[in-house]
Structure 1
């Protein structure tokens, strides 16, 4: 991705100033929402290593596969609860819109995040309707 391309997370910044450094491990996500946005970006750009690294060791799968036909279109953050600079846990409810071989769709989830070793990690999620 070039530095002028907008980050898939929807914050409006260039990828190289937004989620790029987080995906490369140069900067940690400061909040649970920032981690959620970086994980969405990782799905959008196919960064499997980051997805596994940012998953809590207790709930992380052994391997992960992405559907190459699925294209992530945009992310909507519906609600956040805690997950700030001084919290140890947080939740983020979101809708991730995509297109695949069957057409357009959406993934609704309420994700739980926790700090592990001082860094935010994805714990698990509950899918919505």
Structure 2
């Protein structure tokens, strides 16, 4: 998938259809109902270099100042969701994942446990935001 406007074909997160998966969130048509769906769409936004979506879905108090998609030689090649934890009625969740990517042809993996919070956006609609993450051993 070469750009965020290409809706035909598979989703970068690994699902068969971009427009039925992460595309509906990245284009602003829908809001992810779970932290896992937000995690998948954020992975896809990194793969598509969609800076605006990444910033809009990052908790404002932990959002870094630097550009999030500045590394042009990164090619995202796979996502595995290992665990999604969200207690009923809670506005906090975690998603453990492994993202695979290549830099200069060399393969790498990012294993993270991401923290998410659900709160009202500027229009009062409840939505999930990425807060921060930690990197488990091994």
Give me the TM-score of the superposition, normalised by structure 2. Answer: 0.85
Equivalent residue pairs, number: 127
- Give yes or no for contact 2:78–2:100 (8 Å, CA) kept in 1: yes
Structure 1: which 5+ residue stretches go unaligned? none
- Give yes or no for contact 2:54–2:68 (8 Å, CA) kept in 1: no
Structure 2: which 5+ residue stretches go unaligned? 121-125
Question: Hey, what does 2:57 align to over in structure 1?
Answer: 54
Q: Which moved more, 1:25-34 or 1:74-83?
A: 74-83
Q: Which moved more, 1:18-27 or 1:58-67?
A: 58-67
What displacement does 1:25 show?
A: 1.5
Question: Hey, what does 2:123 align to over in structure 1?
Answer: none
SS of the residue aligned with 1:112? strand
Q: Which has the higher contact order (CA 8 A, sep 6+)?
A: 1
- Give yes or no for contact 2:58–2:131 (8 Å, CA) kept in 1: yes
SS of the residue aligned with 1:64? coil
2: distance between equivalents of 1:128 and 1:88? Answer: 23
* RMSD between superposed Cα atoms in Å: 1.6
